[in-house]
Amino acid sequence: MLHTIVFVLLFIGASWFAWRGFSRIRRNILLGKAEVVAGDKSARWRNVLLVALGQKKMFKNMLPAVLHLFIYVAFIITQIELIEIIADGVLHQHRLFAPMLGGLYTFIISFIEILSVLALVATLIFLSRRNLLHVPRFRKPELKGFPSLDANLILLAEILLIIGIFSMNGADTVLQGRLPEVYHHTGNFAVSSWLGPALFGNIASNDTLMFIERFGWWLHLSVVLGFLCYLPYSKHLHILLAFPNTWYASLSAKGKMENMPEIQKEVRIMMGLDQPDGAAPAELPEFGANDVMSLRWTNILQAYSCTECGRCTAACPANQTGKKLSPRKVMMDVRDRADEIGANLDSGKFTLENYQDGKSLFDYISPEEIHACTTCNACVEACPVLINPLDIILQLRRHEILTQSAGPSEWMPMFNAIENAGAAWQMGQARDAWKNE
C-alpha cells in the first residue's frame, strides 16, 4: 500500500510541476503578435507526418540520422512499457499486461529491448561526437555553458533509462524461475532472457534480486518523470513542439519576403500609381521587430522548437567565412529573451500591457550579426524541423533600417539611390531615360 501511495504522490507532483513549466512556455510563445495561419491543411499534415514524425529532412546526413532514429523510435515504443509501469504503480500489480497479451507481450518487450540496445549504441556515439570528436557545429560559442551541459544530461538520462529497463527485466527473468507463483512467466525476451541470468544468475538471495528488479522499475520511472519536469527548460522540448511547429510552418516558397503595406503604399504614390488619401499619420508605424512582442508568435514557437543541432549554422556561408552570424544563436537568443520577459512578468514587477525593461532583442543579437546575412536561405533549407531564422533576421533588419534609420554605412548610398532614382546605383539621369532616346 505504501508503494502505491508513494508512486501516486510522486506522479501527481511531477505532473503538476511539468504542467507549470509547459504553461510558462505557452505564455511566452503567445507574447508574440497574433497571426492568422491559413493555407492548405493537407500540406500542413504532410509536413507533420513527413518532417516531424518521419524525420524526412534528417536523412540528408545519413549517419546521425540513423543514430537519431534509433533513439527516437526507442523513445516512442518504450512508452508502451511506461504505460504498464504506471498501471502497475497505481493498481499495485506486477506486469499487468502480460497475462492479457500472452505472446504479443513477449514480442513487444523483446522489440523494446532490441531498440534499447540500438539506442544505447547511438547514445554512446552521440556522447563521443559531442565530447571527444569535436564536431565543428558542436563547438560554437553559443553552445558553451548550459546548452552543452543540457545535451549531455539528456544523453546520460537515456543511459539511465536503459539501465533501468535491463535491471528490471533481467532480475525479473531470474525470479520467474525461482518464484513462479509471484513472478509469472512472460516468455523469453530478446535480450534479458540471457543477459539477466548472466548478470544476476549467481545472486543467491531472492531478496537481493527483488531489490534489483524494484530498483530498475523505480529508476526507469524516476528518470521519465524527471525528464518530464526538465523538458520545459531543455532544448529537447522539440520532442513535443516539432509537431505544431511543422504544422504552422510557412507554406510559401523559401525566400519569399512579406510585403509591408505602408511601404508599398508610399512607393506606389511615389511612382504615380496611387494618390495620397489624406493627411500623413500622426505617428510613423513601427516596421519590422525589435523585441519578442513585435515578432509573430510563430517565430517564438520556432525558437522553442529549435533542437540546437547547428545544421543551420554549419550551412551558413557567412558563418563559414568567419563572420559572427550564427542562425542557431539567433533562435537561441529569441528563446532566451522570451524566457527573460516571462520571468520578469512572473516577478510581478512588470505588466505585459506596458512592458519596458530597457532591453530588446538587439541586446542579444548585434547589428554585425544581422548585417552578415546574405538571405541565401541555406539555414532554412538545412533545418530538420522547418525553422526559419531568416524571417527573424529580416524583421530585425527592417526595424533597424526603417524605424531606427540606422544600418551599415556601406548600404546608405544604395538606399539613397533607390529612393531618389529608383535604382541601386547612383546615376546621373533617370532610370527610364533610355526609353525616350
Q: 415 or 361, which is more confident?
A: 361
**Is pLDDT larger for residue 51 or for residue 426?**
51
Are 189 and 167 in the same domain? yes
Asked if residue 247 and residue 188 are part of one domain, the reply reads: no
* 172 and 244 both lie in a single domain: no
pLDDT score of 360: 94
Per-residue DSSP letter, 49: I
Task: Specify the DSSP class assigned to residue 182.
Answer: T
Same domain, 328 and 188: no
Q: Is the pLDDT of residue 428 over 80?
A: no
**Within-domain flag for 432:** no
pLDDT at 134 over 90: no
378's CB contacts (< 8 A; 6+ apart) are 312, 315, 316, 317
Q: In which domain, by residue range, is 169 found?
A: 2-8+52-233
To the nearest whole number, what is the mean pLDDT of the chain?
Answer: 89
In this prediction, residue 107 carries a pLDDT of 94
235 closest CA partner among 224, 227, 226: 227
pLDDT digits (tens, 9 = 90+) for 382-393: 999 999 999 999
**Among 389, 407, 413, 414, which residue's Cα sits nearest to residue 287?**
407
CA-CA-CA-CA dihedral for 82, 84, 86, 89, to nearest 10: -130
Last residue of a domain, one of 169, 203, 233: 233
* Whether pLDDT at 365 is above 70: yes
CATH number, domain of 378, equals: 1.10.1060.10
In a domain, 289, yes or no: yes
Task: Give the pLDDT confidence score for residue 24 in this predicted structure.
Answer: 96
Same domain, 154 and 197: yes
Kindly tell me if the per-residue pLDDT of 426 is higher than 80. Answer: no
**Of 285, 242, 253, which is closest to residue 390 (Cα–Cα)?**
253
More confident residue, 239 or 407: 239
Q: Do 199 and 297 belong together in one domain?
A: no
Is residue 29 one of the residues assigned to a domain? no
Going by pLDDT thresholds of 50, 70 and 90, the confidence category of residue 416 is confident
Check residue 349 and give its pLDDT. 87
Q: Which three cell numbers stand for residue 284?
A: 510613423
The reply to whether 220 and 312 lie within a common domain is: no
pLDDT at 23 over 70: yes
Residue 265 lies in a domain: no
Which amino acid is it at 64? Answer: P
For cell 548610398, name the residue: 413
**In the chain, how many domains are there?**
2
Classify residue 375: in a domain, yes or no. yes
Note whether 80 and 124 are same-domain residues. yes
What pLDDT, in 10s, does the model give residues 247-279? Answer: 999 998 887 888 887 777 777 776 667 777 766
In a domain, 297, yes or no: yes
- Let me know how long the chain is: 437
pLDDT at residue 162, rounded to an integer? 94
CA-derived radius of gyration, the chain = 28
The pLDDT-based confidence of 282 (bands split at 50, 70, 90) is low
Q: State mean pLDDT over 144-150.
A: 92
Tens digit of each residue's pLDDT (9 = 90 or more) over 289-310: 999 999 999 999 999 999 999 9
Residues 92, 4: contact at Cβ < 8 Å? yes
Q: What is the mean pLDDT of residues 110-115?
A: 94
Are 218 and 354 in a shared domain?
Answer: no
pLDDT attached to residue 109? 92
Same structural domain, 131 and 187: yes
Residue 369 has pLDDT above 90, yes or no: yes
Q: What percent of the chain has pLDDT over 70?
A: 95
Is 35 inside a domain boundary?
A: no
Instruction: Look at residue 418 and tell me if it is in a domain.
Output: no
Q: Are residues 106 and 78 in the same domain?
A: yes
Residues 309, 368, single domain; the answer is yes
- The pLDDT of 7-13, averaged and rounded, is 91
pLDDT of residue 429: 67
Can you give the pLDDT at residue 246? 96
